[in-house]
Amino acid sequence: MKIIRQFPKILLIAIFLSSCRTSTNKDNSIKNLETNINEFSNSEKKRMEIKFSCGEDGISEYLDDGWNILKEDSQEKICTWKSVPATKDCNMEKDKGCKITKPDRIGEEKIYLLEK
Per-residue pLDDT reduced to its tens digit, 13-71:
777 667 655 444 444 444 445 554 555 555 567 899 999 888 888 888 889 988 999 99
At 10 the pLDDT is: 77
Beta carbons of 77 and 108 less than 8 angstroms apart: yes
C-alpha to C-alpha distances, 35 to 22, 30, 48, 101, nearest whole angstrom = 21, 9, 24, 55
Enter the pTM of the model. 0.50
Among 112, 107, 35, smallest CA distance to 67 is for: 112
Q: Which residue has the higher pLDDT, 107 or 56?
A: 107
